[in-house]
């Protein structure tokens, strides 16, 4: 069974302007483009100068929710530029260069899938950005990344309560315990005590 109320399970909220910041990185993928477009308008209404706003967007999306044109329109007045990437991996590599020159007052706003959120968050933390300087909004797919506790293999995307590990083949029960370091929920062998007895597999994390 799935266990709710686990303290390690992340919670997210709608992105909002942080008036204490001096450089604002709006980072999203897929459907998350809607979130940063909305935030961009809010930052401008808040009185933030466009030169202090940078947009980084990857069109890659499990839901095929490409919001590139929306993001381009929102960022048309961003003097620092709007940077569009075909993949999350390419966006992450570009961010690494940006964060290597990070300074006091930088704020990160992230909108996308949970895996994307924590990939970018962990990158920011690696370069000294504090937790309270990072905002996260969940968008696009509800699919989870699962870490097998038996072989440490990762499986993604997972939409069901039970999944076969992509690395070792075990049938794993998807738990609500989330490791921010690993960027995955824990998966435990469901039939360890009764081999072959697999409960009904149902879609839980959709779309």
131-162 pLDDT per residue, tens: 999 999 999 999 999 999 999 999 999 999 99
Rounded percentage of the chain residues whose pLDDT exceeds 90? 81
Residue 182, H or E segment: none
What is residue 88's three-state secondary structure? helix
The structure tokens 């947009």 sit at: 55
Provide the angle, in degrees to the nearest 10, between the axes of the packed helices 114-126 and 88-99: 20
If one looks up domain 23-138 in CATH, what number appears? 3.40.50.80
Rounded percentage of the chain residues whose pLDDT exceeds 70? 95
What is residue 158's three-state secondary structure? strand
* Concatenated DSSP letters of 185-202: EEEEETTSSSTT--PPP-
What is the pLDDT averaged over residues 61-79? Answer: 84
Beta carbons within 10 angstroms of residue 176's beta carbon? 15
What does the pLDDT read at residue 1?
A: 43
Q: How confident is the model at residue 81 (pLDDT cuts 50, 70, 90)?
A: confident
Indicate if the pLDDT at residue 80 is higher than 90. Answer: no
Residue range(s) occupied by CATH 3.40.50.80 in the chain: 23-138
């Amino acid at each position: 069974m799935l266990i709710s109320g686990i303290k390690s399970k992340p919670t997210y909220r709608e992105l909002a302007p942080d008036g204490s910041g001096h450089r604002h990185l709006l980072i999203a993928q897929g459907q998350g483009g809607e979130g940063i477009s909305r935030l961009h308008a809010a930052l401008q209404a808040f009185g933030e100068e466009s030169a202090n706003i940078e947009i980084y967007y990857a069109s890659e999306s499990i839901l095929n929710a490409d919001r590139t044109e929306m993001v381009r329109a929102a960022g048309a007045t961003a003097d620092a530029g709007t940077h569009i990437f075909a993949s999350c991996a390419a966006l992450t590599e570009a961010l690494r260069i940006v964060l290597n020159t990070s300074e006091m007052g930088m704020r990160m706003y992230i909108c996308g899938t949970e895996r994307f959120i924590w990939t970018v968050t962990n990158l920011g933390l690696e370069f000294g950005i504090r937790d309270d300087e990072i905002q996260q909004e969940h968008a696009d797919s509800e699919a989870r990344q699962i870490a097998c506790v038996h072989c440490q293999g990762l499986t993604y995307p997972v939409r069901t309560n039970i999944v076969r590990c992509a690395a070792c083949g075990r049938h794993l029960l998807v738990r609500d315990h989330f490791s921010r370091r690993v960027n995955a929920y824990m998966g435990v062998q469901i039939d360890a005590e009764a081999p072959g007895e697999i409960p009904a597999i149902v879609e839980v994390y959709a779309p």
